[in-house]
Chain A
Amino acid sequence: MKFTISALATAAALTALPGFAQELVLSIGSRGYGPAVERNIERYAAENPDVSIEWNKVSDVPGETRKLYVTGLTAKSPTPDIYAVDVIWAGEFAQRGWLEPLNGLLDEATIDAFNPSLLAASTVDGEVHALPLYADGIHFFYRTDLLEKYGLDVPQTWEEVLAASQTITEGEGNPQLYGFVSMWAKIEGLFMNWLAFANGNGGGFYDAEGNVAVNSPANIEATQFMVDLLHEHRITPDSILNARPDDARTLFQQGRAAFLMVQDFVHAPLSADNSPVAGKFDFTRVPYFEGHEDANSTTMGGWFLGINPNSDNKEAAADFLAHFTAQEQQLTAAVEDNRAPTIPGIYDNDAMKGNAVLAKFGKNYDYGVVRPSAGSGSKYPRVSEIMQLEITNALHRQKTVEEALNDAQAQLDALLSE
């Protein structure tokens, strides 16, 4: 009985407290923006002592995070209040009513500061549904010490990558050392990889007229090259077929691969003090095939922050969101963590001078290609699934490259005409 009374008293005291702390839940992974998330929350807490922010660290595998969100959003759960969405979901989630329109919650100047082409990805019916947090893309990482040892230049084309891999692996004679590693598991990253190869050969998802043309001769040739890297030249490990970005990064970091192709985020762990390859690696733009040096082969990605329409604290969430993505926070993230800002003005800031890594990331983004998510809207998950499945069929030699891409084309035609 005593317990009940004291519990009631506590509850009464809590509700009577003036300015009772508001609680917000933020869902974002720790890999892409980790150090910045902690810093931004601390900064916000210092200015807003009456708001407490809980960081719900979600999976760094986007597909897994997506499933988590879909479950919660379908059930109209009020948490999280603010959540990070992949650029490829922004349009779809907005269409489905899973992101609160921001135009009414934030003033125009705040929204207009962002890169308009990024904002377009989350704009549905003229309303912005999420703010871009950072942009990223895939890059080609290489071991400077190994290239130097064998007197090789930094490979620019896939043909050079193949030749350099063969020279290095034969020279080292170590069965534990592979030439090229990347993320070829049946995940979104595989589709990003394929776009890099296909566009690097003058192909791509669309043809010059904007029609879906995944089975074009240039694409077939590029895909065949991927299959040959694995089965014919054997410069990639068999495990590349199960590898997600971090699996590939781990192999490279442990000195077991000469070349690695994944997103920006690996730069931080690779250059950490305890990394075996720290100081022994550098990166360049994604390779292209001979004769296609102007190809847009850097597959782009990025993350947005939006507000859950079922949140109980939309106003507070909007205030936090604006603070989190504001110029000041993005500038620190750019300088400290090499995260590419989404507010164009930041690149001209004096504090940015001397950040060679981000400048190089930025140069690679000049050759950027985006995934066809804007064109396919809420059908994008199925578009990506068709491509992932058929590319996997080709990589496992369940189908010839031509069969696989023809099948993909037929399924895409049927899906997109629905």
Chain B
Amino acid sequence: MTNMTSPLDRRRHLTGMAFITPTMAVIIAILVYPILQSIVLSFGQSSIDGSEPYSFVGLKHYATLAGNERFWNSLWVTLVFTGLSIPLELAMGIGLAVLLNEHFRFKGIARLAVLFPWALPTALNTLMWRWMYNTDYGLFNAAALQSGIVDRPINWLGDETLAMGSMVVVAVWKTSSFMALIILAGLQSIPRELYEAGRMDGMTRWQEFREITLPLLKGPILVALIVRSMDALRTFELPFNLTDGGPVTATESLSLYAYKVIFDFIEFNYGAAIVVVQFLVIFAMSLLYILTLRNKD
């Protein structure tokens, strides 16, 4: 009974293939090909205009990376940024989602308003924040100076620690609403009966949240975490528009460093090596999340 393929089965199989082929072709062209091309570039030496043909140099660029302080700095900056912003976004996101799940007047408007920062392009948001952070004309310094908290303007984006903090604040402000949206969807799928049962057992609101809401939100939270972590590990528009990686290199993320190497110094091969390392970091992070998800089921 091994050879069951009837002509009908085969035709069905072919039809299926025909339907997914265009999609697969597009995915291969815009996703798989560039990744493979980056890997190939990172192991070789070539010139962009084709005057110098591709030659294989093995791990040369990776060896240079390993000994490059600036690369390690950008990796560290990326991890610190991710490590600081994701937990804050998650806490804010859960808080917002729980609030928005309540019944109150103008709930529709409130939900729309929360989504606003996320709906605007990062570059635009960031420029707006850059003005508010501006040392000489910015909103924050105007408030701080006029209320007498400080007597000399604070250089928000010009101090190593403050610049990273300022960047995390913008990220949390912008993306908490995205977390909230996914978690809100999760909240609405929790059956009301569970809460009714809880109330009959005399649970407090806090107990309800801890014993019913949180455990049932694990799925949506993990999805939100994966998506946002991948985003944070690739962060580019935020430091590019807010600080250009400065002061010195205190906010230079991996993406920004790779961008500078590729477009300022026009070193595509070395730049490709940075991109491949970044790909591996994101891949490892996603794998970690996926394994955690699986264990929970």
Contacts and interface: CB of A to CB of B under 8 A. Distances in A.
A392 B163 CA distance: 15
Contacts of A239: 134-136, 153, 155, 158
A149 to B, nearest CB: 23
B279 to A, nearest CB: 21
A398 B248 contact: yes
B165 interface: no
Interface string A336-360: 0000000000000000000000000
A265 B248 CA distance: 27
Interface stretch (A126-134, A158-166, A381-389): A381-389
Contacts of B153: 237-239
A237 B263 CA distance: 32
Interface string A225-241: 00000000000011101
A381 B266 contact: yes
B49 interface: yes
21 contacts: A67-B264, A74-B48, A97-B49, A97-B51, A175-B151, A185-B246, A186-B248, A238-B155, A238-B158, A239-B135, A239-B136, A241-B158, A241-B247, A242-B158, A242-B246, A247-B136, A256-B136, A381-B264, A382-B265, A392-B248, A396-B160
Nearest to A76: B49
A187 to B, nearest CB: 8
Contacts of A66: 264
B263 A392 contact: no
A251 interface: yes
Interface in B14-58: 48-49, 51
Given A378-B266, A396-B247, 6 more contacts: A67-B263, A97-B49, A238-B158, A239-B155, A385-B264, A393-B248
Given A70-B263, A237-B136, A239-B135, A186 B155 contact: no
Of the listed residues B153, B157, B246, B265, the one surrounded by the most CB atoms of chain A closer than 10 A to its CB is B246
Interface of A is mostly: helix
A55 to B, nearest CB: 23
Nearest to B243: A242
A238 B162 CA distance: 13
A71 B160 CA distance: 30
Interface string B126-163: 00000000111000000000000001110101101000
A186 B246 contact: yes
A74 B266 CA distance: 10
Contact of A389 (B157, B158, B248): B248
Interface in A44-73: 63, 66-67, 70-71
A96 interface: yes
Nearest to B160: A396
Q: Which 6 pairs from chain A and chain B are nearest by CB?
A: A239-B135, A238-B155, A241-B158, A242-B158, A67-B263, A392-B248
Interface residues of A, number: 28
Interface in A75-122: 96-97
B249 interface: yes
Contact of B157 (A97, A242, A385): A242
Interface of A: 63, 66-67, 70-71, 74, 96-97, 175, 185-186, 237-239, 241-242, 247, 251, 256, 378, 381-382, 385, 389, 392-393, 396, 398
Contacts of B152: 175, 238
Contacts of B134: 239
Contact of B244 (A186, A241, A378, A382): A186
A217 B5 CA distance: 85
A299 B238 CA distance: 33
Given A74-B48, A96-B49, A242-B155, A396 B266 contact: no
A247 B135 CA distance: 11
Contacts of B157: 242
B96 to A, nearest CB: 32
Contacts of B249: 389
Given A74-B48, A186-B248, A242-B246, A381 B136 contact: no
Contacts of B263: 67, 70-71
Contacts of A70: 263, 266
A237 B136 CA distance: 9
Contacts of A96: 49, 266
A66 B246 CA distance: 19
A397 B244 CA distance: 19
Interface in B211-253: 244, 246-249
Nearest to A187: B244
Contacts of B155: 238-239, 241-242
Contacts of A385: 260, 264-265
A282 to B, nearest CB: 24
Nearest to A399: B248
Interface string B253-283: 0000000100111100000000000000000
A308 B173 CA distance: 43
Contact of A381 (B48, B51, B160, B265): B265
Contacts of A186: 244, 246-248
A242 B162 CA distance: 13
B64 to A, nearest CB: 12
Contacts of B247: 186, 241-242, 392, 396
Contacts of A238: 135, 152-153, 155, 158
A389 B246 CA distance: 10
B160 to A, nearest CB: 7
A260 B260 CA distance: 30
A71 B260 CA distance: 12
A382 B260 CA distance: 10
A125 to B, nearest CB: 14
A321 B206 CA distance: 73
A251 B266 contact: no
A67 B259 CA distance: 10
Interface string B149-184: 001110101101000000000000000000000000
Contacts of A97: 49, 51
A186 B263 CA distance: 17
B70 to A, nearest CB: 8
B72 to A, nearest CB: 15
A392 B48 contact: no
A64 B136 CA distance: 23
Interface in B92-138: 134-136
A208 B157 CA distance: 39
A385 B158 CA distance: 18
